[in-house]
């Protein structure tokens, strides 16, 4: 996957580099050169015995997960399998949307479960391509997007760019005038709706 030149980055907090297999070692990197890998993960099976695997557990026995660095724009995977009797996979996967199953190592169940495309999460920010920050965005009031009175500009944790959010105690859409509303507003709105439904 290659997001270079876009406003998106592979989420370093929501995704994990995930390796499935017995005697499988995999690398993930952001170039075509294997020596530039950014993370490595290995999975093994005790004596090749799949009955010892624990469904739901991804701690190195049949399944391994590890973090990736923040701000990756693309990724390539290389893996080395020391066994040709079992299925081996390596992919960047949304951590909260993945549960290991021992059937992944003896069938096409992993590929079938996700239609050949494991789910992953991308982060985004405004001004990513221009390398903007909140400071540079505020200097252009005609195009400054954090227009709600109760919104904040936050420099992106993924590297370049920024995004808007509502101040603490407020929720809504910071990109709209008066889009951030206080909790009192939402409590009043919920009470009013429930009163209208009772009548």
How far apart are the two ends of the chain, measured CA to CA in Å?
54
Residue 172 has pLDDT above 80, yes or no: yes
Domain borders along the chain are 8-124, 134-182
pLDDT of residue 145: 95
Residue 189 has pLDDT above 70, yes or no: no
pLDDT-derived band at 64, boundaries 50, 70, 90: very high
pLDDT of residue 30: 77
pLDDT of residue 186: 54
> Pairing relation of β-strands 15-20 and 63-66?
antiparallel
Ramachandran region, residue 31 (left: φ > 0; alpha: ψ -120 to 50; beta: rest): beta
Mean per-residue pLDDT, 125-152: 92
Would you list the DSSP string of 21-55?
A: SSSEEEEEESSS-GGGEEEEEEEB-GGG-GGG--T
pLDDT of residue 195: 56
Structure-model confidence comparison of residues 118 and 37, the more confident one: 118
CA nearest to 19, candidates 48, 42, 52, 1: 42
Prediction pTM value: 0.74
């Amino acid at each position: 996957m290659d997001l270079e030149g876009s406003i998106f980055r592979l989420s370093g907090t929501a995704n994990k580099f995930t390796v499935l297999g017995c005697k499988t070692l995999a690398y993930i990197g952001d170039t075509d050169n294997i020596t530039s890998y950014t993370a490595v993960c290995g999975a093994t099976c005790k004596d090749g015995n799949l009955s010892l695997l624990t469904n739901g557990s991804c701690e190195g026995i049949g399944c391994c997960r590890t973090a990736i660095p923040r701000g990756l724009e693309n990724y390539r995977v290389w893996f080395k399998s020391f066994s040709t009797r079992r299925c081996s996979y390596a992919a960047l996967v949304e951590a909260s949307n993945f549960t290991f199953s021992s059937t992944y190592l003896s069938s096409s169940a992993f590929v079938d479960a996700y239609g050949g495309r494991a789910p992953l999460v991308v982060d985004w920010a405004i001004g990513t391509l221009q390398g903007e920050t909140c400071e540079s965005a505020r200097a252009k009031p005609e195009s400054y997007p954090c227009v709600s009175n109760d919104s904040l500009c936050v420099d992106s944790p993924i590297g370049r760019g920024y995004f808007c959010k509502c101040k603490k105690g407020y929720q809504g859409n910071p990109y709209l005038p008066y889009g951030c509303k206080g909790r009192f507003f939402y409590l009043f709105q919920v009470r009013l709706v429930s009163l209208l439904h009772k009548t």
